[in-house]
Structure 1
């Protein structure tokens, strides 16, 4: 008999609608797994058991009153939330000793979770202020990769990814400013979606004024990702961007393939390259045409991302800099040295990159396949190994040279699990024009179906 945590979120929702299981039973099952197993996984910063059970019981009452046709596609299925997203009356820690106050209200995505009756299991770990690409912090996170515990789950949404990969949550929310959803998705064998700017509303606690960050989703299947993304999608007054129309091109598609990042002098690991080539081959098997794409080399774009991201780091209000970790202090010091003119130059360059992708890449191809990462999952501590934080930053850049392009352009991209090498998952990334996230997920769902469907939790966590 298949255990509840081995089922996809949409499968759980179908059982709940059919009356085969209640939302309360599903929620209790996952809370029990958290209580028993998170001590060795380290995914959760805060477990909101009382809130989750209250929401699950309400979901069951709503279902009884409205009937299966009167509820949403994920009704009653519990979810985990990254600990930089506000949930009213729950601490928002941001992975930092300088934070931890209870939120005074819900962020927009949480409002939508509540409206759809998705019980919130808890808040998941992230590195301090979501700045680096791992999930280690000074407030208790020792988040491990469920596939091999000595390796990182990636970051910054690593706690969310670890929880879903280990079957402690059916699905989770993260945020993605440079790859923070797609990086841990690749490291943990999940689907990770960074939607287009404007598809999901930021804030209000963190409006992400640079345009780099947006909420995203982590799931084990493309169908789950589409359902959760649809649940949190939508605009609110004050959003900087709005959803853009997207005309889905006719099939067969032109699938671009690029295995070289825009950064010069960077060698991509053969397994990461192979993952992209394999995903492209699977799309070719569906009848699509694969076309090589050269993205060019431009270190100025990487420099602009670094400078804008350091300004974000400097903008966090803290009482005492000594409470911060060394990497955070280094980033903040850099950010304070970025002039207003330089920030304007960086943001202007971002718009230029978006135009280049739209007019030069996505006029030539319909969708683009690249590796998700430049290297396989690294050992925990690898990005904190040097006393020189500039060296650590360079290591992160080599690890994730492909993902920031879509943040810079505000475009959607999805990391897809493709290979397992040395006991660790390796993902590839499928990206497209503004508004194409639903098209990306449909193509990925077809690939999943032809490959025999996605797997369950990571080995050893079944």
Structure 2
């Protein structure tokens, strides 16, 4: 007999609606899973059992059961503030920080009827694409605990893949939802810039980071995505004129139906090819080939394509990555000592940048956004490998040499950051396994605002490979 965590999030929501179990029953089930599994896997950095039980009771008594994720547990990524709960940003510098207010995305998921069980692990300030912070144990990949989970939403991915949560919110500033989703065999959706009101990226440096869901199925991802966008099911504050949050939604319908025939591009080039030696592992190529074969069999149009060489992207993105660390509040030697070597390097490099250098980098990336959208515009969606390599061992990244560390991150995941720069939506979908039983995924890039197409394609692929039936052994 299947246990509660074996059910999809959508199945759990439907069972809650029927009264087969209560929000408190579900909360207790997942808290027990966390207590048993988290010490070995490091998915959560903070667990809040008392608050979770009180919240589950509140949801059952006071929140309309029609709320988008009524009674479903989730975990806040430790980059997001929840009032009264320690928020450490993956850093020893914030070991004692307890925020008095919550971030907007946290409030949105509460309004949507969710039950937070605690905070999921992230690397220091979410800067690297792996989750191995000195502030806590590494987030270990449930498929092989000697391997990393990716990042920066690594704890969220581990929690979902191991059945400690039905789904989880993450954030993606250079691949931070898609990388751990690919490493842990999950669906990970990076929305279009401006799509989610509680994290539009429009008001941030270069507009890179947006919230997105990690889940086991396309429908589960859509369920959480809808909750992020319009948590009450009614119009919300639009904040910006770029896009109204209700446009094209709700997205759950697109994921459940999984309809449509599309013209798909296929490419293995990236924005980093001019600056780094990018090698795509045979397992990554095979995952892409498997996805192409499946979509071709379904009747979609398939055409190979390649990006135009562009030497401007790499130095401009490096500049923005360093500039993003410049405002870290470490002003004294004692505070700096609490930072990890990579973070200190990034912070100092960011503070050395001139205003002219930063302005030129922003201008370059804005031009790249227009270029990439133009190059991909003849396709409904474009397939790439999700990662260039198989999941990396814990400790693989150089923790002392910033330049080498940056190169390693690019070589592992060259296909993600260009989409944060361009603001395009993208989804990672599990498709195959390596000989060692590790999950491998494919990335699909959408047109601006094209999340419905991505979720429909995800549902179609899911019906052929049934990845929701695959679970890491032993958890």
Quote the offset at 1:333 in angstroms. 1.6
Q: Secondary structure at the match of 1:229?
A: helix
Equivalent residues in 2 for 1:417-456 (5 A)?
A: 417-421=430-434, 422-452=436-466, 454-456=468-470
Distance 2:53 2:450 in 1: 36
Question: Are the equivalent residues in 1 in contact too, given 2:264–2:383 (CA < 8 A)?
Answer: yes
User: Could you state the TM-score of these two structures normalised by the residue count of structure 1?
Assistant: 0.93
Distance 2:242 2:346 in 1: 27
Question: Are the equivalent residues in 2 in contact too, given 1:83–1:92 (CA < 8 A)?
Answer: yes
Equivalent residues in 2 for 1:209-358 (5 A)?
A: 209-234=205-230, 236=237, 238-239=239-240, 241-243=242-244, 251-264=260-273, 265-319=277-331, 320-358=335-373
Equivalent residues in 2 for 1:22-421 (5 A)?
A: 22-62=22-62, 66=64, 71-100=66-95, 101-202=97-198, 208-234=204-230, 236=237, 238-239=239-240, 241-243=242-244, 251-264=260-273, 265-319=277-331, 320-362=335-377, 364-384=378-398, 387-421=400-434
Distance 2:100 2:417 in 1: 31
Q: Deviations over 1:135-155 (max 9, x none)?
A: 011111221110001000001
Distance 1:251 1:3, change over 3 A: closer
Range with bigger deviation, 342-351 or 394-403: 342-351
Distance 1:372 1:159, change over 3 A: same
Question: Are the equivalent residues in 1 in contact too, given 2:71–2:113 (CA < 8 A)?
Answer: yes
Quote the offset at 1:31 in angstroms. 0.3
Q: Deviations over 1:370-423 (max 9, x none)?
A: 0111111010011136x4221111111111110001101011101111111122
User: Could you state the TM-score of these two structures normalised by the residue count of structure 2?
Assistant: 0.91
Quote the offset at 1:281 in angstroms. 1.9
Distance 1:316 1:206 in 2: 20
Distance 1:189 1:452, change over 3 A: closer
Quote the offset at 1:315 in angstroms. 1.6
Quote the offset at 1:208 in angstroms. 2.8
Q: Deviations over 1:33-84 (max 9, x none)?
A: 1111110011111101122111111222247xx5xxx513421110111100
Structure 1: 5+ residue runs without aligned partners? none
Question: Are the equivalent residues in 1 in contact too, given 2:193–2:202 (CA < 8 A)?
Answer: no
Quote the offset at 1:110 in angstroms. 1.1
Question: Are the equivalent residues in 2 in contact too, given 1:226–1:438 (CA < 8 A)?
Answer: no
Distance 2:4 2:470 in 1: 11
Distance 1:253 1:309, change over 3 A: same
Quote the offset at 1:240 in angstroms. 8.4
**Aligned positions, number:** 453
Distance 1:285 1:307 in 2: 43
